[in-house]
Chain A
Amino acid sequence: MTVEQTRTERETDPQPSRWASGLRIFPPGLYAGRASRLVERSLLAGKGAWLAILSGFFEPVFYLISFGFAFGGMVGQISGPGGAPIEYAAFIAPGLLAVSAMNGAVYDATFNIFFKLRYAKLYDAVLATPMGPLDVAIAEIAWAVLRGGVYAAGFLSVMFGMGLITSPWALLALPVALLISFAFAAVGMAATTFIRSTQDFDFVQLAILPMALFSTTFFPLEVYPRVAQFLVQCLPLFHGVELMRALATGVVSWGLIGHVGYFVVMAGIGVIVATRRLEKLLLT
């Protein structure tokens, strides 16, 4: 984009835009309705790192091949949602889909945002424009969701190709993956504003990896003792796995709304905390 184009844009598109006046939960000045500009920037900057971004797609596929097929031979059939027995590969594939939606979003929302916040000082530069902290939060979460969505779409097509999707409900798995990504990205971004140094990223790992391992991705909830079952049910990823498994197998009930609600609340809290923290870190 040339300087001239930018100038004409400024003249024809004065801030704050209509969107800003519609959003009154946050004080004016936090939001200029220009989040899409920062997403555009991420797209441009991401061009050089396409290999790193693309490689995220392979992780769940490798897990699916290794565990679903080679390991599945040792497990045989397992009871799926509704109690009907399903192949082990069909059992873990939806779980891995939820995990990849989480991973894509969390990695982007923590490592990359920390770098831009502390080292590249990108947001200091952004806030020198009419954009506010809420623009930054929305734009970065949107970028993380885009990445999570690309991974989910890729993995869904792999599942389809391997015959692991048995219900048209699976079409809803993509929007659900976006919701999961959104919630994790929002909370991840809020958490990133509390991170002091790169060593703290071990704590992110410590939250993410056990969650991926224990949220009934690889084995059913019944394996755990009672108390542990309750703890697992509190984990956000558990609700993602439940949603995905129900959609992939077509055992759909109204109870799924509860799982969706979990993520909506989580996303809301994440956005509010992230915005407040960015405001505090960057504007005071």
Chain B
Amino acid sequence: MVTSHTSTAARARASTGRVSGFAASILLILEGQWIWYRLNWRSTVISSVLLPVLFLVALGMGMGALIEPSEATAGMDYLAYLAPAMLVVGAVQNGAGEATYPVLSGFKWQKNFWAVTATPITPAQLACGKLVWIALRLTFSGVAFLLVAALMGAVSGLGVLLALPFSVLTGMAFAAPVVALAAAMKGEGDGFNALFRFVVMPQMLFAGTFYPISNLPELLQPIAWITPLWHGSELARGAAFGTLTLLPTVGHLTYLGGLLAIGTVLSCRLFRKQLVV
């Protein structure tokens, strides 16, 4: 009795004001997310796996019937041409989904971010933990998507395994700045609608997912260069078809890595600004 009392007291003393280690905090946040996810994963299957698969079936198979393999499809069957890019599109869309309302909700509706930062976990650790969680989610969905795509015969070879980390990187390069945006968001998240309508959706349509960007009018092509999705689908296609060359690969990776780094730093700052009163 006495010992347990002292140990509780000791723990309470130890926890006040002590900053938890970085890796330990991230693990704690992941554990919290996982507990929630274990109960709620079903509803995420539809949006994160089924919808990209449906796009692949409808456009890859249906449109594929209208399109002969040509230079524009890298000599591939249209279904095989579309699959790596659809993997990246799925990552970007899921990344955007996880980075918007769930983050705003932590600040605004559920307010669980305040609860978390009332513990030894710091706002910056919370932001990083959230980002690592999003990366994990993108990995799960990517694996599930690839399994289905392989069953459909849309996968051209083992190179697609390298496309998976590329797609997660692309999703994170987009999600990290959006997490920062969500942390700075005022109001009820109406701005997210505009983000999805004017950034996420056009990115899918105009950044070389369904056809090479050289098909676009020349004025529109530079817009594709700034989208993470274009860099990601170039990398994923290169990996899947075995056509990666050194210099472009380094260029794409630098751009995506840079976006991720900027997004992470901004997220940590804005979480601190919001949560430290």
Contact = CB atoms under 8 A, between A and B. Distances in A.
Interface residues of A, number: 31
Contact of B58 (A58, A74, A205, A210): A210
A55 B201 contact: no
Contact residues of B: prevailing secondary structure: helix
A254 interface: no
Nearest to B205: A66
B190 A218 contact: no
A219 B43 contact: no
Interface residues of B, number: 32
Contacts of B73: 74
Contacts of A209: 51, 54
A202 B43 CA distance: 7
Interface in A190-217: 199, 202-203, 205-206, 209-210, 213-214
Contacts of A73: 211, 215
Contact of B51 (A49, A71, A205, A214): A205
A203 B67 contact: no
A210 B54 contact: yes
A1 interface: no
B83 to A, nearest CB: 16
Interface stretch (B115-123, B163-171, B191-199, B249-257): B191-199
A52 interface: yes
Interface in B179-228: 190, 193-194, 197-198, 201-202, 205-206, 210-211, 215-217
Contacts of B206: 62, 66, 70
A242 to B, nearest CB: 17
Interface of A: 49, 51-52, 55-56, 58-59, 62-63, 65-67, 70-71, 73-75, 78, 199, 202-203, 205-206, 209-210, 213-214, 218-219, 223-224
12 contacts: A70-B217, A71-B211, A73-B215, A74-B215, A75-B66, A78-B66, A205-B46, A213-B55, A218-B63, A219-B62, A219-B66, A223-B62
